[in-house]
Structure 1
Amino acid sequence: MTSSPAPISVDIVSDVVCPWCYIGKRRLEAALSQVSDLSVQVRWHPYQLDETIPLEGKDRRRYLLDKFGPDRIETIHDRIEQIGAEENIDFAFDKIEISPNTLDAHRLILWAKAEGKQTEMVERLFQAFFVNGEDLTKAETLISIAKEVGLEEDLVEQLLDTDSDVEKTRKQIAKARQIGVTGVPFFIIDGRFAVSGAEAAETLAAALRHAEETRPGDGMQAPPSPL
């Protein structure tokens, strides 16, 4: 009996409040459709654009004003909304009232991985924040999202009230920074090639194809992930 080659891994370092990460997810999906003959395994890894935000979050408008100034905010949002529309994302920045600390959201993504629903959780968190303007600092919001994705509601509620996997998540974020990740999204393909930023679907598809064509040996064992 012949064994199948190991799937090509795509490790994505991302933060759920990064609009370019949402765009990057859409472009990866388009890329995967272009190389549908390849076996690909997608894995998500945490990153925090601003880990100094308190757990209760900050007023979104004030946070952005302090960071960018009023004129630049509108320019940035207009550009992202235009690009998002091209990727079928209805960014609604006007609905977002709170800039959250994303540590708990990343814990949800970690717990969803155990259920094989990591990508589904990432999508739902992106949608909650950028499309619906939901408050990701509220436990009830995260519990509701977890239930929708198919996680056990009572267990998630209990875990969120503890420090379960907080240190693990922080160590994963630190590891991403140690290997040189300074911005997201950041894609590591087959443990060998890095693509930084929300590159076009064609670029990601070409990287996946190149990874397949240059795999060492018989490809039965995937290269270890640096994360």
Structure 2
Amino acid sequence: MLIDIFHDTVCPWCRIGKKHLFDALAQWQEEEVHIRWHPFLLDNTVPAEGYEFRSFMQNRKGMKAEELQQMFDYTQRAGEAAGVKLDFEKVRLAVNTKLSHQLIALAPTSVKNDVVEAIYKAYFEDGLNLGDINVIVAIGTAYQMDAGELKLQLTNHAVSDAVVAESTFARLNGINSVPFFVINNKVKVNGSHSVEVFLETLNRAALLDIPAKI
């Protein structure tokens, strides 16, 4: 089974949706699953040094400070229910996520899912700037990627351009919010649904692949 996941690494609902999907896969275990991660840059105009997080979010959402806090509290509770930590007190910067998606693209397949989770943790639990190349290299080296080679690859315009192009392609093909999941190129799931919904979707996708009897 092939699962394509469109996400951004500063999207809390993407982290929740990832957890729900992987919990569903742990229960399902019907066939081998291959995951492909796709970038969806929510805002590629953010500079490498980032913006002050709360003022940026207030402007982006058109919310007052109290309303924004209520949204954070709700999202944090949803994260806790899913089993992931979202510490919005630690998050100080709204960041550009292009480098983090480059790291995911460069990571070996065997550790790619773990690298994705490490990036989410770096932002939502440690409050690190994902636009800082040193932060991204440190995450990569924790998974046996060579620091010098990785830094060269991350500064390669071809890798950067590929991330932007893939994100643009997703938007041009009708994806306008994340997380967004496509299973076996047939069944689409938009949003961070429950484990039960993902289980139902996996079963439906598997049935669609069963050849019709003659």
Shared fold (TM-score, shorter chain, > 0.5): yes
Which residue matches 2:44?
A: 51
Q: Is the contact between residue 43 and residue 118 of structure 1 (CA under 8 Å) also seen in structure 2?
A: no
- Counterpart of 2:173 in structure 1 is 179
Show the 5 A alignment for 1:1-227.
8-68=1-61, 69=63, 70-112=65-107, 114-215=108-209, 217=211
- Unpaired stretches in structure 1, ≥5 consecutive residues: 1-7, 219-227
Q: Distance in 2 between matches of 1:150 and 1:191?
A: 32
5+ residue gaps in structure 2?
Answer: none
Query: What TM-score do you get using the length of structure 1 for normalisation?
Result: 0.88
Q: 1:192-219: CA deviations, max 9, x gaps?
A: 110000011111111111111111549x
1:15-66 Cα distance to aligned partner (Å, 9 max, x none): 0000000000100011102211222111110001112212321111221122
Q: Which moved more, 1:164-173 or 1:75-84?
A: 164-173
Letter in 1 for 2:165: K
Residue type of the partner of 2:42? L
| TM-score normalised per structure 2 | 0.93
How far apart are the structure 2 equivalents of 1:83 and 1:115? Answer: 29
Aligned 8 A contact 2:154 2:160 in 1:
no
Range with greater deviation from structure 2 (83-92 or 153-162): 153-162
Moved more, 152-161 or 11-20: 152-161
CA contact (8 A) 1:58 1:98 kept: yes
* 1:186/1:196 contact within 8 Å kept: yes
Residue pair 2:48, 2:132 contacting (<8 A) in 1 also: no
C-alpha RMSD over aligned residues: 1.5
More divergent stretch after superposition (18-27 vs 53-62):
53-62
